[in-house]
Structure 1
Amino acid sequence: MLCYTYILKCSDNSLYTGWTNDLKKRLETHNSGKGSKYTRSRLPVEIVYFEEFKNKSDAMKREYEIKKLSRKNKLILIKKNGLI
């Protein structure tokens, strides 16, 4: 089963990083207000970046690495490899 690390752009232009095994379902969960506490008050959100992994462990490690990045470096990552 594939897993994903993703970055969301929230309605207030903040960024949220997470991981999942179903990108479409996770985005729907976030936008329904049942995702993370952080995104609940910043709807709607959109996926602007994601990476694929073969297992949960690797996806979670990458999530941790991305969360440690500065906003500037996250934006560089998104611009270089993302969906926007």
Structure 2
Amino acid sequence: MFTVYVLYSEQYDKLYIGYTSDLEDRILSHNQKATKGYTVRYRPWKVIHTEEFDDKGLALKREKQLKSSRGRNFIRKTYNLLR
């Protein structure tokens, strides 16, 4: 099982979109474990959207869709995060 997820940093008004096979550990990594990278700069993150897939290829395809301009607009509109 693969999960596509969207994180939101309220403090910085930032979105992060990714996929994983272990959502709980991945969120812990974004918020606590990681010592470098994009998500370290904008902590804390909260999960605002998830979608589950049985196939890794489908999860990657959906992640790519959400990372597009149209996908980010969809997320911002759906969760009322309009700037």
5+ residue gaps, structure 2: none
Taking structure 1 as reference, are residues 37 and 24 closer, same or farther at Cα in structure 2, changes over 3 Å only?
Answer: same
Q: Does 1:68 align with 2:68?
A: yes
TM-score by length of 1: 0.80
Q: Look at both structures and tell me which one has the larger radius of gyration over its CA atoms.
A: 2
TM normalised by structure 2 equals: 0.81
Which 5+ residue runs of structure 1 have no aligned equivalent? Answer: 80-84
1:24 match: 24
Q: Partners in 1 of 2:47 and 2:17 — Cα distance? A: 10
Identity of aligned residues (%): 31
Which contiguous aligned blocks of 4+ residues in structure 1 show a shift greater than 6 angstroms?
none
Tell me how large the CA RMSD over aligned residues is. 2.0
Deviation, 1:12, is 0.9
